[in-house]
Homo-oligomer: A and B are copies of this chain.
Amino acid sequence: MAEPCFDVAHLGHVEVLTDKFDESLDFFVNVYGLTESGRDDTSAYLRGWDDYEFHTLKLTRSDTTGVGHVAYRTTSPEALERRVAVIEEMGWGIGWVDGDRGHGSAYRFTDPDGHIFELYYDTKVYEAPPEERPALKNLAQRYHGRGVCVRRLDHLNLLARDVSVIRDFMCEALGSRVTEQIQLDNGRLGGCWFTVNNKSYDIAYTEDHSGMSGRFHHVTYAVDSREDVLRAADIFLENGVFIETGPHKHAIQGTFFLYVYEPAGNRVEVANAGARLILQPDWQPVTWTEAERRKGQAWGLKTIESFHTHGTPPVETSTDKS
């Protein structure tokens, strides 16, 4: 096995599309508890209270829903150059863009399912205005306590027609490691969890049965405790947010999860992973069979049907259950 690659530091931000911009923004700021650090004609730039960058969620006006692009920050300018060379060689490159209000120039490419990605190093670090300065200087922003008050961007989940193709792609393009995966009886990969650092995953892909491509499953922010997830459930309940499933613990990755739909229909998760990290440099992927998955989540909750069907943008036919 080659030495591990450390060119990519972390998931940087996710652009989420909405056809109900005002309602979505109200959800993300007042219910989910993100802070808006900037806005332009098309987008609001949002972040969790301890995200160190200007934004981790770019909420963009659109005539549909789903993901606009996904961005990772590299560990250095040199690492960015190395990754771009690899991706160009792979043939998935699009080219350089100037960046936006949150970061400098970035290299665009697509995954084999058509999702747009960016890699960047130059970033804009969030500087808290006086009223948002934390009492403790090692935090990015004060714990404001508004809504669910999520702490930081954790991961996202994309749908893809062929997860095994994605598996090879992510390992080569980003140097990601596979930490867990689902091996279906038909020989296909049902899902695959990747990480570029010590988090147990920063992106996951699951199989899309809709025939569509480039779809979005969910984005997740982390909170500090399972109690925060339970409290989030009450906040969603009292604010009329549709709760799809949870709180419960995933068998895969052990994440304590709660899934809701924001007003435009994009799935959003609140999660806590406890003290679990992937520190082992030679971690071997954990492979789950269909039989094992039939046992449900960690404590036996059956996976809700819509979790396998609902993505954004929605399927054009009426088969989408959401």
Q: Is A112 an interface residue (CB 8 A)?
A: no
A279: min CB distance to chain B, Å: 4
Q: Report which of B135, B247, B256 forms a contact with A237, defined as CB distance below 8 A.
A: B135
Listed stretches A94-102, A103-111, A137-145; interface member: A137-145
Inter-chain contact B281/A75, CB cutoff 8 Å: yes
Check B249–A299 contact: CB distance below 8 A: no
Instruction: Give A141-179 as 1s and 0s: 1 = Cβ < 8 Å from B's Cβ atoms.
Output: 011110100011010000000000000000000000000
Output the nearest chain B residue to A136 by Cβ-Cβ distance: B251
B279 touches A9 (CB 8 A): yes
User: Within A237-280, which residues are at the interface with B (CB < 8 Å)?
Assistant: 237-238, 240, 243-249, 251-254, 256, 258, 272-277, 279-280
| Of B3, B52, B238, B277, the contact of A280 (CB 8 Å cutoff) | B52
Contact status of A151 and B225, CB under 8 A, knowing A73-B281, A75-B4, A143-B238: no
Which of A84-92, A226-234, A311-319 faces chain B?
A226-234
Q: How far is the CB of A262 from chain B (nearest CB, A)?
A: 16
Smallest CB gap from A258: residue in B: B299
Is there an interface contact between B238 and A298, defined as CB atoms closer than 8 Å? no
**Complex: how many Å from CA A240 to CA B299?**
11
- A199 surroundings in chain B (CB, below 8 A): 198, 277, 279
Knowing A199-B198, A224-B275, A279-B197, say if A254 contacts B136 (CB, 8 Å).
Answer: yes
Task: Tell me the number of copies of this protein.
Answer: 4
CA distance A227 to B229 in the complex (A): 11
B197 engages A247 (CB within 8 Å):
no
- Whether A286 is near chain B, meaning CB under 8 Å from some CB there, is yes
Report the minimum CB–CB distance from A151 to chain B (whole Å): 5
A151 touches B79 (CB 8 A): no
Using A238-B142, A254-B138 as known contacts, say yes or no to A247 and B279 having CB atoms under 8 A apart. Answer: no
Task: Contact check, B225 vs A277: say whether CB atoms are below 8 A apart.
Answer: no
Is A113 interfacial (CB 8 A cutoff)? no
Interface centre among A145, A226, A240 (most CB of B within 10 A): A145
Q: Is the CB of B6 within 8 A of A6?
A: yes
- B227/A145 in contact, CB under 8 A: no
- Taking A152-B277, A197-B279, A273-B275 as given, write out 9 further A-B residue pairs in contact, using a Cβ cutoff of 8 Å, ordered by the A residue number: A10-B281, A52-B279, A52-B280, A76-B281, A138-B254, A144-B238, A151-B276, A226-B230, A272-B275
- Sample of 23 A–B contacts (CB below 8 Å): A4-B75, A6-B6, A9-B281, A50-B275, A135-B240, A137-B286, A137-B288, A138-B180, A139-B254, A143-B235, A145-B147, A145-B231, A145-B234, A151-B276, A197-B198, A198-B199, A226-B226, A243-B299, A246-B299, A258-B299, A272-B275, A273-B275, A301-B301
